[in-house]
């Protein structure tokens, strides 16, 4: 049997672990710890963070999470994909979220490759064949 898990909030030397002050907004989780020096300070900092990161952050990240797999499939180039994801975390986006707005996530359209393209009917040497109406 291992060491028992003990947490004495006001006596960190007697604790085998500390519980950070944590806030959640959908997939966003932020934890604050003072390593036992001041749980009250950690709690106050967490309250401050709760004001900075409101419900709009959670909603936005939930939508982003649903779009992520589609984006990864749609944008094959890693550098282009990174630029796209970085644009979704820009200063402009953060400002909108702090104002309580939920920004639009414009997922890229899947680019049709050679297989998905329709070919136009062409005659010899790339010339379009005439229809019956054009021939008459």
Distance CA(40)–CA(10), nearest Å, equals 10
Distance CA(18)–CA(100), nearest Å, equals 33
DSSP 116-135: TPPPPP--GGGPPPPPHHHH
Q: What is the pLDDT of residue 109?
A: 67
Q: What is the pLDDT of residue 8?
A: 76
Q: H or E segment at 22? A: strand 21-25
DSSP 70: H
Distance CA(44)–CA(96), nearest Å, equals 25
What tokens were used for 12? 């960190």
Q: What is the pLDDT of residue 110?
A: 58
Give the residue among 67, 30, 70, 27 at the shortest CA–CA distance from 47.
30
Q: What is the pLDDT of residue 116?
A: 45
DSSP 10: T
Give CA separation, 23 vs 11, 20, 48, 96, in Å.
23, 10, 10, 20
What is the block-wise mean pLDDT of the chain (136 residues), using blocks of 10 residues? 76 79 96 90 96 95 93 93 94 95 78 49 49 49
- Provide CATH 3.30.160 ranges for the chain: 10-53
Q: What is the pLDDT of residue 127?
A: 47
Fold for 10-53, please state it. Double Stranded RNA Binding Domain (3.30.160)
pTM of structure: 0.67
């Amino acid at each position: 049997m291992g060491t028992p898990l003990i947490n004495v909030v006001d006596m960190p030397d007697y604790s085998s672990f500390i519980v950070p002050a944590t806030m959640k907004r959908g997939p966003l989780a932020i934890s604050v710890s003072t390593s036992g020096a001041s749980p009250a300070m950690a709690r106050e900092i967490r309250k401050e963070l709760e004001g900075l990161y409101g419900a709009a952050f959670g909603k936005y990240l939930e939508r982003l999470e649903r779009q992520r797999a589609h984006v990864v499939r749609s944008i094959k180039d890693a550098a282009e994909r990174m630029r796209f994801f970085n644009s979704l975390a820009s200063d402009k986006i953060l400002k909108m979220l702090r104002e309580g707005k939920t920004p639009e996530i414009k997922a890229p359209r899947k680019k049709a490759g050679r297989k998905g393209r329709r070919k136009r009917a062409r005659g010899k040497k790339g010339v379009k064949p005439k229809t019956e109406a054009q021939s008459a």
